[in-house]
Each structure stands twice: as C-alpha cells, then as structure tokens.
Structure 1
C-alpha cells in the first residue's frame, strides 16, 4: 500500500465508522476501553494523527485492541505494520504466540515463530548476541540520539532472523533480541523521555523474552513498564506491573540484586505517587536483601543497579519525604561511591543534591550542584538528569534575581545548551 498520502486505510475506516474528526475517534477509544475490561487507556488527537501518517507506529496493545473493536478490522487491515512483519513477510508456518502469564496491561502480542526448517547457521544467535552486548556497553557513553537508531535496526534484524533459526540458536537469538528491545526502551524512557514509545518497545521485548522463555528478562521488562504509570502517579497500575515482575522473578531464581532492584523500582513509583513512608520501608527491605546476598548471581545484562544506585534511590525518596539532612548525607555517599562510567547517574545525583539545597533554602549551594549537573550533561546527555535540573530551577524562583541564579540561567539557556536540548 502506498503511504504517500498517509494511512488511508485507517482514515477511511474511521470516517466509515462515523468518526468524522480524529478527536472523535480518540474520545471513543477512551470511552470504550472500560467496557472491554481495560483500565488506564488514553488516546489523543495527536496519537490518531500519528496513526494516519505515512509511517504509523504500531499501537500499544490495549489501545490497539480497542481500535480494532471500534472499527471492526484487524490492525494490519487498518494499515499498521507490526514489528515482526506482515503476514506476507512471515514464513508459512509462522504462528501467533501469546506470552503466557502477562498482565492485562501488556495485552496479547505476537512474535515471529520458527520456520519449517532453519535456514541460518547455528552461530547466528551468538553473533547477534555479541552486537547486543556491545550496544549495552556503549549505552553508558554514546549519545542516546546516536545509539538508539542502531539498537532499533539491530532489533529489526533480530525479528527477521528469528523465524529462520531453531533450537539453542533460536533461544540465544530471542534472549538477545529481548535485551535489545529492553535497552531501546530504556533509551526512549530515561534518555529521550518518550514514555508512550518506550511502552510499545517494552511490549516487543516481552514478546521476545516469552519466545526465549527467559523469566528473569520478563521480570526486568515488566518492572520497567511499571515506571510509566508510576511516574504519572497511577499507583494501582504500577503496583500491578510490579506484582507481575515479582512473579516472573520467582520463576527465574532471581538474585539478591534483582529482588533489591524490584523493591527500588516499587519505591520510586511509591515516591512519585506521594507515599514516601512506604517507599522508605521498601528501600530498607532492599538494603537487607543486598546485605544478606543469595546463591544466585545477577544476569550480566543487569548493569543498571547495585548498592550505590540503591543509595541514590534512597536519597531521592528522603528528599521527597522532607528528610533533608539524611538525604544530603545519603546522596553525597552515593556520589562518592559511584564507579567510573556512571555519568548519567552522577547527573541525577547532582540534581537531587541541588533540590535538597533548594528545599533547605540555600540557593547558592543549589546553583553549584545544578551547574555541575549541566557540566555532566554536556559530556553525556540524559533527559532524566535534565529534568532534575529544570525542577531545581523552578524551585529557585524566589531567588531568581540573585546573581547565582542568573549565572545558572546563563548556563541553562545559553545558545549551546538550548540548541542541544532541542536537538535531543
């Protein structure tokens, strides 16, 4: 189908169903979702406009289900191309697979299945995994805008190769494909602040993890999806996804580090939802788990968490709880203990230290830490870190005529910083 004029299939189906305007369809999706047993489904005119563009993104599973219900056609018939390819592109023996045990918020998804006979050599899985491993290492230093397209193209290659592999090679490739999509989603959520797109990517990651039957990867992916409602203040949906992640972790003999990280993720969601007492209890539990240890080692791909990162979680929660002296001490300890290569985390800690000083009504000290965060951002961009700095600047409004705040503004809104932020 030619896409020169956009997704004509969806537009025609929308008009034929009686939704004259894009906003009408968006409103209908939100209204119809509860009748299908789906909670928290949102849609807007901007999203519908993207669907009717020349390159429509694959809808989030819950939204896609409602869209198909309203218009009476499958998503592929409505002009969408799934990430695993169209029916014509898939081998004759391709089957639809439901990732068993996932929560309703993830929805039903499909992945390319094994062809009648493998056409790729046995080493293709290991070769694909080697590139995935390299991307994981590059994440900590390469610009997200540069790395993300490479990771996504690598994942597309994995989707194309998966139906052509078998046995151990197939599982190796599926594991690496799940990790690639997990990394892509992390970049989209934390580095580029595109939560809606990250949610779609993590669904694909879960599909691949299900194909590999890797419960620990499933746990990590589901826990990451909890950040999306958690950061929006939807405590119920975040809790549901964390519960699902814990169920997967039990199946996979999770390490002490994995269990502690799940506590930390839940703690951050609780903090964002205003329940700091619960969050501090969870962090205390995580500290106990790390101290006790376990017989199981953490997966090699879980390189985003350790005892120092847990301190960073704790310092942020103490800050939000108003425990300023404790937060300052915890964050300074975390800063001192950060290993080399943790520049993104360092930016976040600087931002939180600046926020502590704002809350303590020490504007000059706050500006010093905010400036250090900006220095780090010029080396390694991190949207989450920049959000921290902007929150600090909003907190500095009572002192905005002070020289230290004006100097910070010169840094924050200078030509280079402004252009760089817009490019990101």
Structure 2
C-alpha cells in the first residue's frame, strides 16, 4: 500500500492535534477522519492515533501476547493482513471474524460496533451478526501521546479522568472482556470451552451462537494451515468435525441443521487437507473420504461454493497425489460446471488444474487453451465472489510454470516461476512447491548452482511449515541433483535435507 504524501500526513497530524487540544475523544477523531478522508471504520481508528500499518500491527501483536491470545508468540498480524482487514469486503479476507474485531477493539480502545459500517454488516453471516450483537464495550483507548514504537507496543494506557472515560465509552451493549475471548455474551459470559462442553452433554441446547463459534474455530485452524505443521492442527480439527456431526444428528430444527451442515462441510474440507498433508501426500483414500463428505454436504445445501471447493481439493489430490490426470480432469470439469455463474475464482482455479492435467498428458494445445480461459475467469474476480479469498495473482504464473515443466519446456517454466512465490520472511506451504518446481526447471537446463539455491530456499520453507507437498518435492529434487553431487552447493543442499528431516534430538535435563 502506498504511503500518504507528506503534505497529507502533515494535514492529518495537524487535524488530530487540534481535535485533541479541544478535548475531543478518540471516537470523535476517528469519525472525523472517516468523514473527511473517506476511511473505512477500522482504518479511521488507526489513523486517529496516527499509527502506520506497521506500528498498528506491532501493537496488535503485543496486545495479543499480553492477553494470552498469542501464546506461541507467532505475531500473526502483518501489515498486508491489517490492510486487507481494513478494506473488507473489498479485499481477499474471507470473513471479518468477531474474534478479530474484538482484538482490534481492544487495541483501539473502542467498541466492536464502531469498527463496522453498513457495507461490513451486509457481508457478515447471520451467525456472526448474532454474536456481534451480544458484544459491547471494550477497554479504554490507549493514551494518544504514547509513541507508536515496537518497544512500547501494547503498553497499557495512561489513566484518564472520569469525564474522558465517559466520552469514550460506547453507549451500546454490555461490557465485553477481551482477556477471556472468545466468550458467549448471551447474559452468561461463559468461556467457549465451557459452552462446548455443555452442548456435548446437552446437544439439544445448541444455538446459532454456538454454531458461529464452532465455524469460527474451524476458520481459525484453516487460517493457520498455510504456515503451521498439519500434525499440530489435526487433533482439534478432528474433534470439531466429530462434534459438529454429532450435534447435527441431535438438532431439533431445520435451520440449525443447515447451519451445522455448513460447518460440517467446512470442517471436512479442512480435515481432507490436513490428513493428506500430514501423510506427505500419500493417504489419498482418507483425504478423498473427507472431501467427498464435504461435497455431499454442499449438494445437500445446494451450495455451489462448498461443493466446488471440495471438488477443487479432490482435483489436487488426484493430480499431485495419485498422479491420475484423467481423474483430475474429470473432477476439475465437475468443479467448473458446479461453480459456473457462482464463483469465477473456483471455476478459474479448476481450469488451471485442468490445464495441468492436460500438461501431464503432454497435450500442449488443450493446456494453453485452458490457461487462457483461467486467466479470463480470474481476471474478472471481484469482492462479491464468496471464494475471492482463495485467489492470488501468483496463481497463474505458478500453475503455468508447473504446466510448462510437465510439457518439457523448462526455460519457459523458469521464467514464470521466478516471481511466483511470496516473500520468504513469511512463506506459505505453496512456496515450497513453487521453489521446488523452479529448482527442477533449472536442473533440466543444466544449472546446478541456481537449482541448489532454489532448493535451499525451498528447504527454508519446509523447515518452517513442514508441508507434506514440500517434503515430497524436496526428495524429488535431491534425486534429480544426483549427477551434480560433486558441486559444493549441491552437496551442501542435499546434506541439509537430511538435517531437515532428522527428528529433533532430545535435550538432556
């Protein structure tokens, strides 16, 4: 995101200072920034403090760690993610979750409702709206004079007068304690764990708020999938799927059954991914079992997005696990047919995988035709597409590079793959595949030193994410580098693979 011009920053600083000097509250400053500069509510509250995206992300991560919301210290908020949250629903963020809003409200010292406008409400699910209705005021705002630096990120606000606090206190809803997030605030304020324990014992007590919390937890795990070893996520994902399925069998009303069936489809898709990834892309049968279950739920719901996403994941398993291009092609075509008119993103991604299936069959003409069709579909993607969060501009060069590698054109593949991965300071599992394919393209052109460098970058990603596809790719590269083992860079990279895959040595007490 481009930074505002110096003159604009100076104007905003002057406005902020004048409003503070006149005793105006943070809420009033944010409202004026939203009106004058047409900021969305979340951006307006950040600018009301004068924080950059980096400074705000630092404070959010520090706040989360301070309140036990980030026990592993992974600092998940980044500048791009915060920018997308501020621009929802016109961004790649799939869902503006109540948990995220509560975290932002705690940092900005405001009420969750002041961080939403009509456009946001129009794109919230009914269960999320119900949960947000039960949430009220948060902690007071941080002191405006505190400098937004890393060292002071998350520092508790200075004490303020009762008059100041009364001006900042939102008038809406009961108090909401972020320290015990997530909560159910339907007059009880009981932690989620207690609520879920209760519905296990009394399944007919399940309601829309409980279902919203279950879906939110599934989405939390899904958000962690790309940068977390699958074995860390599998146990909880399996428990959630089992609980959702059990509750659906016991629920008395059709409305609740439909909501639970939606949650079941989402949890089954996640389980299909996790099982396949944890098995290093070997357990195709179990992955298909979960994904078929999700597709069936989508059909029952008459939800083309849920069914299409399950079919897309099944296509990937058939393509890169079973190495069955014709099966993958059939699944991709079904996905395109199901999602036609509902999601250009899912249809476009299915077309990319269909092109890859043709490439595996060495059919250049059909492959390139589908690559063009996919580019057309993905080029008209907008925020109204429910699956827009799945799409990245890197998809096309990444998949096209893979296609040309299968077609025996490594030079073209290298050109496409060279810029198809994300920044390696925060890599995703797919980056290991991209870098692996780049290394293979360079090997097949007789470039061992360049291939060793790409291989080492892929191992960096594998070390951090433990993605099954990356691990499988690493061994493929190591085998193809065999003729160049005498090259020092190649030898070092191949030796490092053994270190990456070796189990950790237990430390002596």
Q: TM-score, normalization: structure 2?
A: 0.54
Aligned to 1:246: 336
Q: Distance in 2 between matches of 1:243 and 1:411?
A: 41
Aligned to 1:173: 260
The structure 1 residue matched to 2:306, chosen from 217, 220, 225, is 217
Alpha-carbon offset, residue 399 of structure 1: 1.4
The structure 2 residue matched to 1:363, chosen from 435, 439, 448, is 448
**5+ unaligned residues in a row in structure 2: which ranges?**
1-202, 505-509
The structure 1 residue matched to 2:359, chosen from 271, 274, 277, is 271
| CA distances 1:349-373 after superposition (whole Å, capped 9, x unpaired) | 1111111110110111111110111
> Does the 8 Å contact 1:123/1:169 carry over to 2?
no
> Does the 8 Å contact 1:338/1:346 carry over to 2?
no
The structure 2 residue matched to 1:285, chosen from 373, 376, 384, is 373
User: Any idea what SS the aligned residue of 2:292 has?
Assistant: helix
Aligned to 1:97: none
User: Any idea what SS the aligned residue of 2:400 has?
Assistant: helix
Aligned to 1:185: 272
Alpha-carbon offset, residue 276 of structure 1: 4.4
User: Any idea what SS the aligned residue of 1:131 has?
Assistant: helix
Alpha-carbon offset, residue 331 of structure 1: 1.1
Q: 1:338 to 1:212 in 2, by over 3 A?
A: farther
Aligned to 2:293: 204
Q: Distance in 2 between matches of 1:366 and 1:249?
A: 38
1:386 aligns with 2:475: no
> Does the 8 Å contact 1:400/1:406 carry over to 2?
yes
Alpha-carbon offset, residue 296 of structure 1: 4.2
User: Any idea what SS the aligned residue of 2:466 has?
Assistant: coil
Q: Distance in 2 between matches of 1:346 and 1:145?
A: 19
- C-alpha RMSD of matched pairs (Å): 2.4
* Superposition pairs of residues 11-30 of structure 1, within 5 angstroms: none
User: Any idea what SS the aligned residue of 1:334 has?
Assistant: coil
Alpha-carbon offset, residue 137 of structure 1: 1.1
Aligned to 2:429: 344
1:135 aligns with 2:225: no
Alpha-carbon offset, residue 135 of structure 1: 1.3
Q: Distance in 2 between matches of 1:215 and 1:304?
A: 15
Q: Distance in 1 between matches of 2:465 and 2:498?
A: 18
Q: 1:281 to 1:340 in 2, by over 3 A?
A: farther
Q: Distance in 2 between matches of 1:340 and 1:254?
A: 35
| CA distances 1:88-144 after superposition (whole Å, capped 9, x unpaired) | xxxxxxxxxxxxxxxxxxxxxxxxxxxxx9552343322221111111112122220
> Does the 8 Å contact 1:202/1:225 carry over to 2?
yes
> Does the 8 Å contact 1:216/1:254 carry over to 2?
yes
* Superposition pairs of residues 53-68 of structure 1, within 5 angstroms: none
> Does the 8 Å contact 2:397/2:417 carry over to 1?
yes
Alpha-carbon offset, residue 213 of structure 1: 2.7
Alpha-carbon offset, residue 201 of structure 1: 1.3
User: Any idea what SS the aligned residue of 2:228 has?
Assistant: coil
> Does the 8 Å contact 1:230/1:270 carry over to 2?
no
User: Any idea what SS the aligned residue of 1:333 has?
Assistant: coil
User: Any idea what SS the aligned residue of 1:188 has?
Assistant: helix
Structure with max Cα Rg: 2
Q: Distance in 2 between matches of 1:239 and 1:353?
A: 24
> Does the 8 Å contact 1:179/1:205 carry over to 2?
yes
Alpha-carbon offset, residue 402 of structure 1: 2.5
> Does the 8 Å contact 1:140/1:344 carry over to 2?
yes
> Does the 8 Å contact 1:229/1:235 carry over to 2?
yes
> Does the 8 Å contact 1:267/1:282 carry over to 2?
yes
Q: Distance in 1 between matches of 2:309 and 2:265?
A: 10
User: Any idea what SS the aligned residue of 2:401 has?
Assistant: helix
Q: 1:159 to 1:405 in 2, by over 3 A?
A: same
Aligned to 1:411: 496
Q: Distance in 1 between matches of 2:376 and 2:268?
A: 31
* Superposition pairs of residues 220-239 of structure 1, within 5 angstroms: 220-231=309-320, 232-239=322-329
Q: TM-score, normalization: structure 1?
A: 0.65
Alpha-carbon offset, residue 394 of structure 1: 1.6
Alpha-carbon offset, residue 411 of structure 1: 0.3
Moved more, 309-318 or 274-283: 274-283
